[in-house]
Amino acid sequence: MLIDFHTHVFPEKIASRAIAQLAERAKMEPVTDGTVQGLLDKMDLWQVDRAVVCNIATNVKQQTSVNDFALQIMRDHGDRLIPLCSVHPDADTIEAEIERVNAAGVPGLKLHPDYMLHAFDEPVYGPILDTAAQLGMFVIIHAGFDVYSPDRIYATADGILAVLERHPKLKLICAHYGNNYLWDTAETKLAGRNLWIDTSMGCREGLFPSQAKRILEKHDSDKILFGSDCPWCDVRENTAYIESLGLSSCLLDKIFYKNAQALLDGSV
């Protein structure tokens, strides 16, 4: 079984434009057309059983429409796709919006500090994180470097640890092995701490296999999630990379699906 905990799609009417703009900025070739059906087609090809879709509210005005799109994905494809919603820290309807999507069955939120233009350890995220923790929802963030803001790291390792200190009950997932491209920091400061990490993009962003293995074996084996960041990475490339590391079969099962199942069904 395989659960991909980090994917992205866009509404069909804007998918082609969004994908083209992001591909140009990142200098990466997408592996899907960015639509829901495009993701489902690749899941069939790559033998992915379920996928978590990380929707992002990059500004206050789009918050409701982004979440309505996520809820529509759940209604149409909830057997295979698990959409996450998003709230913007500058919105004045944070608690009500989180309660709305939680009541609809959404298990977690996606935040991208680089697009939201607030460092993750700023107090402005407090209402989001407090409400999510109270409702038992997890929060996944982009952590580390992002090509969108190459001159500033919005979710640093120290900032992440400060947030965990303030919100000890928060189920926090730090994407990209905990700190994208800042692999030494991910290994020395975040591996082994009370947070989840996903495996997205490491195979594309210069993470040497030896260091990836050290990070994954140092971290809590119950808090590692497989993620591809599709449409920016082929699942087969990512699974082959992880399988090449020489990890135990028990750990591989946890990474590929068991930890995701536990987080999604609320048993952790």
pLDDT in tens, 139-174: 999 999 998 899 999 999 999 999 999 999 999 999
* Among the ranges given (84-93, 161-170, 199-208), the one the predictor scored with the smallest mean pLDDT: 199-208
The amino acid that residue 157 corresponds to is: A
Report d(CA 90, CA 92) in Å as an integer: 7
Range of the domain at 88: 3-264
Strands (E), the chain: 3-7, 50-54, 81-84, 108-111, 138-141, 171-174, 196-198, 224-225
Half-sphere exposure of 105 (CA within 13 A, CB side): 12
pLDDT in tens, 36-66: 999 999 999 999 999 999 999 999 999 999 9
- Say how many domains are in the chain: 1
> What CATH number corresponds to the domain at position 50?
3.20.20.140
Mean pLDDT, residues 199-204: 89
The amino acid that residue 30 corresponds to is: P
Closest CA to 104 of 78, 138, 133, 141: 78
The dihedral of CA 131, 133, 136, 138: what is its sign? positive
Asked if the model's pLDDT at residue 112 lies above 90, the reply is yes
Residue 245, token pair as written in the block: 């590391």
